[in-house]
Amino acid sequence: MGKRKSAKSPSSTKVPGKSLIRLANRIRDLRIKKGYQSHEIFAYEHGFNRSQWGRYERGEDLRFSSLERVAAAFDMTLEEFFSEGFD
């Protein structure tokens, strides 16, 4: 007998959760406050892959080490990143 492929459960889709959306909004807001209208220029000037930075701002999952780099790009510690204006 052949193996049946199971359907993907709703939890396995790539829809960002509320926390990731909040994180994406925080990243985008900080970039704009730094005076960058373009995420591509910000990413380039701070050593990030431009398409990867776009994924951060869309709320796609990111690794902890990437989050540390994001905070550093804004000259912030993680504590500052999460304590100031994380709405």
The domain that contains 43 carries what CATH number? 1.10.260.40
pLDDT-derived band at 78 (thresholds 50, 70, 90) equals very high
pLDDT tens for 49-75 read 999 999 999 999 899 999 999 999 999
Structural domain count, the chain: 1
76 domain-assigned: yes
pLDDT tens for 5-47 read 545 545 445 677 899 999 999 999 999 999 999 999 999 999 9
Global pTM reads: 0.78
Residue 1 per-residue DSSP state: -
4 domain-assigned: no
61 domain-assigned: yes
Residues 60, 26: Cα–Cα separation, whole Å? 13
List the domain range (segments joined by +) for residue 70.
16-83
Residues 72, 87: Cα–Cα separation, whole Å? 20
- Mark 42-66 as b/e (b = at least 16 C-beta within 10 Å): bbeebebeeeebeebbebeebeeee
